[in-house]
Structure formats: C-alpha cells, structure tokens
Amino acid sequence: MHLHEYQAKQLFADYGVPVPQGRMVESIQDAAAAAKALGGGRWVVKAQVHAGGRGKGGGVKLVDSVEAVENTARALLGSKLRTRQTGSQGLPVHRLLIEDTVEITRELYLGMLVDRARERVMVMVSASGGMDIEEVAARDPRAIVTEAVHPAVGLQPYQCRNLAFAVGLAGDQIRAFTRLLTGLYRLFEQQDASLVEINPLVVTASAELLALDAKLELDDNALYRHPHTSDLRDPTQEDEKERSASEHGLNYITLDGDIACMVNGAGLAMATMDLIQLHGGEPANFLDVGGGATAERVAEAFKLILADAKVRAILVNIFGGIVRCDLIAEGIVQAVQEVGVDLPVVVRLEGTNREEGKALLAASGLNIITAEGFSDAAAKVVQASRGAGA
C-alpha cells in the first residue's frame, strides 16, 4: 500500500526521523492558513500523489508570499498531475503539503527495501541525493553503498557508521545519522514496510539531517496486523479496475495492449503474456483469477476486462488442477451469457476433465473459440484481435 508524503512523514516523526515543519491541506483557504501558521516568508507547496517526479511534473513549487501559496493551491487542487510514473492519464490532486523551506548544503539518498533473494532488509545510501536513483545506479553502481541487515540481530551501529562514512558524514552528523537510521529501521520492521526512501536526505546549513522527502510503501499482506493503517489508503490514487479486482479477490494490473488475459495462476499469467507478445500481440492486462476460480469470480473478471475500452479480444487460459475444467467451462458460459461479451473469446483448457469442459463450451452455442494448446491459443487470440480491429 502506497502512502502520501505527508502520511509517511507523520510516521517518520513518530519514530524519531527529523522532518520539516509542514501541514496537509485540502482547500485554498487552508493552504493560506497553513502558510501563516508556519510563519516565515517562503514555503514549498507539494502536490500529494502516489508518484515520483512531482517536481519535474510541476507538482512542487517554491513560493514567496501567502498570495502565491493561494494561487499555487488554486492551480494544483482538482488538477491531474502527470509525471513519468503516472502515465498519460495522470493522478488527481486532492491534497497539498505546505512546508517550511530549509537551507541545504548537501543532498543524500537513503533507502530500505526487502531483498527476497538474500532474505534481508537492504539499506542503501548514496552521496548523489536529489537525483533519480535508477540513473545514479546506471551511471555509476559504486555510487550506491549497501548494508544487509540480519533479521536475528537487526541493524547494528557499525553498519550505520559504515554508511555514514560512505556519504562523507563526520562527527555529530554520524551520531545523528545513526539515530535516524535506527528509527527508520524500527519503522520498517514494526509497520511491515516493503520500501522506504528519503530522497533527498539533506544536510542543512546548521549541519542537521532532515528528511526533505518521504516515500513509504506498506506490505498489503500484513495490513491485518495494522488495522489503523488501512485508513491511510487513498482510493483516488489507485486504478479503478485494480481496486475493484482486489475487492473480488482478483489480481489485476492494467497494461497498454488490446488482448485481455484471464488466467489462473500468476506464473501461467506471465507466460501467457509472453506468448501473446511472441505471436505479435500486446496484452491489455495481467489477470489472475486464482486457483479456486468460481463462476462468480469469472463473471467479475469479464466485467473488469470489458471495462477497458481498448480490448479487442480475450484469451482465457486455464489449467484445471484444484478446480476441474468442466466447472471452469460452466463458469465461462455463465459469465459470457450474464455479462454479454461481444468480443472474440479464445479459451484454452488443460488438466482435469479437459474434454468435458471443451464439450460444454462447444454445446453452449456461444461464439467461443477453443484452442488445442498454449501456442495455438496465443496465435488464435492475436488473429482474432486483428479481425476485431479491422
């Protein structure tokens, strides 16, 4: 689950990670009031969306008067911010973060993530803060220094010192960095985070460390342990189809192609998308209906697919293991009749009661194209999509 910057910074502060003074607002009037309450003569106005690159997209503005705060809030609130991470559709801006400005002498990068291959939390730092870390890694991998945290002992002081030395901190800054990093690791563990980024982590003119930005992602699978954090979810920042899929126990991700996929099993879904591309097509989605697919779940999956206007054909690729192919076939027939699918539907069934399932599809009288194998199914759906687009 993604959090907004202001939400992440609230958690940072709870764990002793220093952040600038700021206030979240949802109206022009509140933006002006926040600037006055913070005091001073300069403020940063930040659009709150679940995407990076906000500055380049016009979502972060430095202003010098309360009137400028109001004008910036008026321009941003209710708009859609487009960055390289949002795609062409952009994300709606409903909240702003008004913050104090700080005098910066250095910008660093600090991140934590789970390395599943090593079964460790990896802590990453770089002296090249304020830049896209992917660009830094591509240009000079040695510019990123890492420490692997053993889960039995946790983050150790010597690891904090190693990372501090790597980015050129000294004296009291090392102690401050150790406190900051220790608090951030406690947050990571206790809140079941999957990613934390501070970019930039700045050294101020008074030699203090401050988390100028904050990115925090929490593991959806652990939310049952943190019922209060569920309130932090912002559905306006999520793809509507992906949100609906989650509510029905489906795993769905929108893609850019025109061939919809409905598959049971994540690995099979990935292979299905690969094979569609091999035959010259482009998948419109990743859709895993799960091993316990039911007629109701299949019907909901078809509704999701049909909500995508660019879809021209549908490939249903099912391996009947836990669920028999004849039951899946019944669900497909019921769903097609209920939803009213007008697009070409190619079905490949394999596994338990395969022949019975194919017989049910053939007897349905519906315009369903059956396939004899994986490659045959991909070839047929690509051909069908081209015919539908003609």
Tell me which of 109, 147, 252, 300 is the catalytic residue: 109
Q: CA 45, 58, 1: angle at the middle one, nearest 5?
A: 75
Please give the structure tokens belonging to residue 213.
Answer: 């930005």
pLDDT tens, residue by residue, 70-102:
999 999 999 999 888 877 778 999 999 999 999
Cα 284 to Cα 66, 115, 287: the distances in Å are 46, 29, 9
Q: Is 297 strand, coil or helix? A: helix
Dist. CA 286–CA 347, nearest whole Å: 16
- Whether 15 sits among the annotated catalytic residues: the reply is no
Which of 6-15, 86-95, 129-138, 287-296 has the weakest average pLDDT? Answer: 287-296
105-121 pLDDT, tens digit per residue, is 999 999 999 999 999 99
pTM, rounded to two decimals: 0.75
Confidence (pLDDT) at 389: 47
- % helix / strand / coil in the chain, to the nearest 5? 40, 25, 35
Concerning whether 119 is annotated as a catalytic residue, the answer is no
Tens digits of residue pLDDT in 355-390: 888 899 888 888 889 898 889 999 999 999 988 544
Active-site residue (options: 5, 99, 147, 197): 197
The Cα–Cα gap between 121 and 118 comes to 9
Both tokens of 178, joined, read 């150790």
